[in-house]
Amino acid sequence: MTDTKKELLMTREFDAPGELVFKAWTDPKLVKQWWGPKGVFIPVCEVDARPGGLINIVMEAGEELGELSGTRWPMKGKFVEVDEPKKIVFSSTAMNEGKVILENQTTVTFLEENGNTMMKAHIVVTKALPGSGSAVAGMEAGWNQQLDKLVEFTKMRIENKD
């Protein structure tokens, strides 16, 4: 791997209880509604949030991404730790044309105080294989967009009292 970032630490504050933020990460019906960067939707979302449980998410570029429209980016993974409502740890692989190009471990912690939640996501690239350059280069922007979508998603859930 060349001169690229191998580790990200991202935080977000939510005007939402920890239970909702945690569930947004672990309930496939909710994950499907916010996962992925802007312009991406999720046609496949399987999340079995328990230690050893599998993750299978496919992100697909929508029309707003122009020539990338229809491009699919599958991600598979496994939950390592699930400590509701405080912490989840999962490993994941990014794939391109059926081949694993990137492996990550993600640790997400949740701290609720007075009905608000502080979430920290620590993403570590554990292996970058040939063909991973653009995935690694776009990792920070993609995670920022994805987590911003999560903030908006929880805000809408609170406002709509879902």
- Higher-pLDDT residue of 4, 52: 52
Torsion angle of the four alpha carbons 20, 30, 135, 121, in this order, in degrees rounded to the nearest 10? 10
Q: Share the mean pLDDT of the chain.
A: 93
* Lowest model confidence (mean pLDDT) among 52-56, 61-65, 130-134: 130-134
Q: Please say if the pLDDT value at position 8 is more than 60.
A: yes
The answer to whether 32 and 45 have CB atoms below 8 angstroms apart is yes
- Can you name the CATH fold of 7-37+83-159? Alpha-D-Glucose-1,6-Bisphosphate; Chain A, domain 4 (3.30.530)
Q: What are 65-82's pLDDT values in tens digits?
A: 899 899 999 999 999 999
pTM of the predicted model as reported, rounded to 2 decimal places: 0.91
> What is the spatial distance between Cα 63 and Cα 112, in angstroms, rounded to a whole number?
37
Domain extents for the chain?
7-37+83-159
Residue of 52, 19, 57, 76 whose CA lies nearest to 146: 57
